[in-house]
Structure 1
Amino acid sequence: MSYPNTLIFVDFPSADPEATAEFYEAVFGWEVEGRPAGVFHRIVPGQNFQLDDGSQGPTGNLHMGIHNTANARPYPDPEGAEPREPATNGRTTRVWILVSDDDSIDRILGEAVKRGAKELWRDHYWAEFNGFNAAFEDPWGNTFVLWVKGGDDPQIPEGWTNE
């Protein structure tokens, strides 16, 4: 194979796509479009990936979606298929979000928890990928790992866990 298969989309399961769209808009500042509303919503994070100098590079953002677990589309049968509820018992989707320089892990976690998310951890550094991180589980069972790059000489604050 000369060219690898390409990831084009990831979507999150939800029993209430409208509420999920409102949650992600408030927590991450993302634009969310109903396509059609209540059935499938497209998340448009916005902007291209930044280059080291802060300008936008040629690579566009990765779109995501929210699908209604009552009848996940597309599917050949108009009635959909089982299961019809989000998986909430055990590991589910885990998404890594690079926190913008003009935002913060604390703001995102606070907004998420205020809207019903469960904080999983905060104040952790992972040397393997040189990043400061925290995580929460949204009200629909999806895990979001919030990530801030450590830079050339990461200084781990006192009291933080690290590995």
Structure 2
Amino acid sequence: MANSLIFVDFPAEDPVAAGKFYAEVLGWEDDPRPAGEFHRMVPGGFFQNKDGSDSQIGNLHLGIANAANMRPHPDPAGVEPRIVAADGRKPRIWVLVDDNDTPEAILERAEKHGAQVLWRNHYWKEFNGLNHAFRDPWGNEIILWVKGGENPEIPENYTRE
């Protein structure tokens, strides 16, 4: 087996607020460990098998780390830089929208909590997905993904690539 991705961290100046943001917007469990320094966001559930049943593989987690002192690090005082990058591209994450939620509802909650909607209503044929995106208050980009399914019917108001 190749090296396995197990975690991704987002830096934030205020991990407590970022943890609350993702709990409110995406419904994830905010697991502060310790509060204000590192918050493990637990999306819950398991990856699904092809038949729709739960596999034995739990979903990936997202870490929210204090930009002033990203842990772990051998120096307990941390190192520079101690701020979130402001300009240029940053990593972005892709979130598969649950059948019990909608991209529209998620975007509405995200805006209510200070996010900026980047785009709505786009279809990416290469991976057969309907997608929408927002930037959280800390500058991280979130792509919302809905599977197109077999023979997808793409609404007329969707852009396509």
TM-score higher than 0.5 here?
yes
Q: Could you give the per-residue CA deviations for residues 72-107 of structure 1, whole angstroms, max 9, x where no partner exists?
A: 111111111111111121111200000001100000
Match of 1:56 among 31, 34, 54: 54
The aligned counterpart of 1:42 is 40
Distance in 2, Cα, partners of 1:156 & 1:120: 20
Q: In the TM superposition, what is the alpha-carbon distance from 1:54 to its structure 2 partner?
A: 3.1
Distance in 1, Cα, partners of 2:76 & 2:57: 36
2:110 equivalent to 1:112: yes
The aligned counterpart of 2:91 is 93
Uncovered stretches (5+) of structure 1, i.e. residues with no partner: none
The aligned counterpart of 1:72 is 70
The aligned counterpart of 1:134 is 132
Distance in 1, Cα, partners of 2:5 & 2:48: 20
Q: In the TM superposition, what is the alpha-carbon distance from 1:12 to its structure 2 partner?
A: 0.6
TM-score when normalising by structure 2: 0.97
Q: In the TM superposition, what is the alpha-carbon distance from 1:56 to its structure 2 partner?
A: 1.1
Distance in 2, Cα, partners of 1:71 & 1:128: 39
SS of the residue aligned with 1:84? coil
The aligned counterpart of 1:155 is 153
Q: In the TM superposition, what is the alpha-carbon distance from 1:49 to its structure 2 partner?
A: 1.3
Q: In the TM superposition, what is the alpha-carbon distance from 1:134 to its structure 2 partner?
A: 0.3
Matching residue's letter, 2:114: G
Match of 1:83 among 61, 81, 94: 81
SS of the residue aligned with 1:133? strand
Q: In the TM superposition, what is the alpha-carbon distance from 1:110 to its structure 2 partner?
A: 0.5
Uncovered stretches (5+) of structure 2, i.e. residues with no partner: none
Matching residue's letter, 2:92: R
Aligned identity (percent) is: 59
Structure 1 residue ranges, 4+ long, deviating more than 2 angstroms after superposition: 50-55
Matching residue's letter, 2:144: L
Distance in 2, Cα, partners of 1:50 & 1:27: 23
2:31 equivalent to 1:33: yes
Matching residue's letter, 1:104: T
Instruction: Give the number of aligned pairs.
Output: 161
The aligned counterpart of 1:20 is 18
2:124 equivalent to 1:146: no
